[in-house]
Structure 1
């Protein structure tokens, strides 16, 4: 499902009105003629479509991400999948005020990069890497990863953001990332490691165990890279549940 199939970013259009549009054959911006809704709302939708085309031509999905509910921001993904950055961090604890970020992994266009505390993990590097992204995807990053990075590195991360925890809940996938991966059959090439293990590995590295850092990096990279197949599965399932189901009721 693409942004051009969506109407709920328009003020006054909820899921019920959007579904009514789809059921009446208005499944894409190109098909909107104003006949299904009142004139005032039709004018708003026309304006939204005109402005929306300009944003999409520029590769900018931020206006749509801001207007969509958190659980519906997955709709932005197909438009900018190649420019989507998947992100995950490891820390020494749960408070950004008293703990540190140890590793940050970014996965985009088939490549995974990992940055390490006191090596190459800097605010400048983070800013430069994220500037290349049209969309940011995390799991629980809205409450944890993003504010943690902003606090620890004094940066502002304003990339349009899909936190997969919310669309996962919409299709009945509750719990943490690892149980969801297992339920969906998304494999890992390494034993499961917890967040507590990640803290322990960093402490062992600080005491001179380079192998512990290698394990921590591998774990962080797996968390990050596995967000991509999760995003694909979630987007496909929600496409079927939200969009194709409406068309089946026409």
Structure 2
């Protein structure tokens, strides 16, 4: 049975924040082991990175140069258009599990941000579960200083988890109203066809050229924290904090690579697929001139690329460059006589703009014949989905010829 929102809120009300537990004192002070100290009732560690130092294939200074409009196109989110990288917080969490429910704690919250000539990573560490409210309150004050978020898979995991925890502690986080770039989503749009695996580790290696050494596996991190709570031994926590820091820096660097690829695709694209994906992003953002320039270049170097021609034709059509679009449809009909979409678009042009119902009817009949061949060959059913459209169009054009 699906719970209503009110029922969910009542359920949350019944869940109490973690009870105070006694953690054995660490063998050596945390300040010595982790390099941080207590601030605002919680333990905080800071690390600074010079933005002009290379991080694999890019410097973080390059990210700072990118306009928000470029990031908005990459994120497919207009709310990001006015967000400068300097105004964003880069967030990553380490948790006691992947379930993300009310029983999962974010025992480490890393926050990256630009400050003068450095990229700073501040990490809020939960020494004991009962310190969670103080940690979240400190994080809330930090969030108030910046207006945007950048995460890697944070829309699905990190941010919903933090929201759940703040509700339990009766704190208010305005995550929903903030521009939010999820780098995982943008990376998949650009590189899924090329890489298949768009995990942070693989993107870090394949796109940035960074190879981690002696990195703690993410699957072991919850147990390392539980061992710390049980024994007070914090040696392995250094590896956990290092892992979290690198995740945040990698997320920022990947956003820089994504942004520069979108901004200067002819300079940075490593494959045709990347140019295609950038062209689609510009088209979906309504930046048709840039999209047309990309697809014209692709078509020029591959005369029979179906997807590139289709994309170019629809860009022309969106700009009301109907004759240019018409030439694309005709070229595709000659080159791809078994794909119905160019036939449909050319028939629309003939019917609604040229009022040439006889010619449009001939084109539709050719498309139906092509689909009949496809059925005989047991070809993909997604092409056969056009059959109903073509059948209706054929009947309408036949009727129009009788009445004109």
Tell me which interval the TM-score lies in, with the shorter structure as reference length: 0.5 to 0.7
Conserved? CA contact 1:105–1:224, under 8 Å: yes
Does residue 201 of structure 1 match 2:221? no
Provide the rounded CA distance (Å) in 1 between the counterparts of 2:237 and 2:70: 45
Distance in 2 of aligned mates of 1:185 and 1:247: 27
Q: Alignment partner of 1:187: what SS?
A: coil
Q: 1:162 aligns with which of 170, 181, 185?
A: 181
What are the residue-to-residue correspondences of 1:164-243 with 2, within 5 Å?
A: 164-173=183-192, 174-187=197-210, 190-206=213-229, 207-239=231-263, 240=265, 241-242=278-279
Q: Secondary structure at the match of 2:155?
A: helix
Q: Is the counterpart of residue 128 in structure 1 residue 125 in structure 2?
A: no
Q: 2: CA distance between counterparts of 1:228 and 1:122? A: 23
Q: How far is 1:131 from its partner?
A: 1.4
Flag structure 1 segments of 5+ consecutive residues without an equivalent. Answer: 7-64
SS in 2 for 1:141: coil
- In structure 2, the partner of 1:113 is 122
Q: Mean alpha-carbon deviation: is it higher for 151-160 or for 108-117?
A: 151-160
Q: Give the deviation of 1:190 after TM superposition.
A: 4.1
Tell me how far apart the structure 2 counterparts of residues 180 and 5 of structure 1 sit (CA, whole Å): 20
Q: Residue 150 of structure 1: SS of its match in structure 2?
A: helix
Query: Does 1:93 pair with 2:97?
Result: yes
Distance change (3 Å), C-alpha of 1:85 and 1:132: same
Q: Based on CA coordinates, which of the two structures has the bigger radius of gyration?
A: 2
Kindly indicate whether the alpha-carbon contact (under 8 Å) linking 1:74 and 1:162 is maintained by their aligned counterparts in 2: no
Is 1:80 matched up with 2:84? Answer: yes
| Cα deviation, residue 91, structure 1 | 0.3
The answer to whether the Cα contact below 8 Å between 1:2 and 1:75 also exists between their aligned partners in 2 is: no
TM-score of the two chains, using structure 1 as the length reference: 0.66
| Deviation of 1:108 (Å) | 0.1
CA gap of 1:165–1:4, structure 2 versus 1, over 3 A, is closer
Q: Give, in angstroms, the shift of residue 247 of structure 1.
A: 4.0
Q: For the Cα contact (< 8 Å) 1:171–1:238, is it kept in 2?
A: no
The SS at the match of 1:98 is coil
Structure 2 regions of 5+ residues with no counterpart? 1-65, 266-277, 283-289, 298-404
- Tell me the residue number matched to 1:103: 108
Q: Provide the aligned C-alpha RMSD in A.
A: 2.9
Q: What's the CA shift for 1:147?
A: 0.3
- Alpha-carbon deviation of 1:185? 2.7
Write the distance in 2 (CA, Å) between the matches of 1:181 and 1:200: 25
CA contact (8 A) 1:71 1:166 kept: yes
Whole-Å separation in 2 of the counterparts to 1:115 and 1:203: 17
Of the structure 1 ranges 120-129 and 90-99, higher mean CA displacement relative to structure 2 is found in: 120-129
Q: 1:186 to 1:76 in 2, by over 3 A?
A: farther
Q: Which has the higher contact order (CA 8 A, sep 6+)?
A: 1
2: distance between equivalents of 1:152 and 1:137?
Answer: 19
Secondary structure class of the residue paired with 2:104: coil
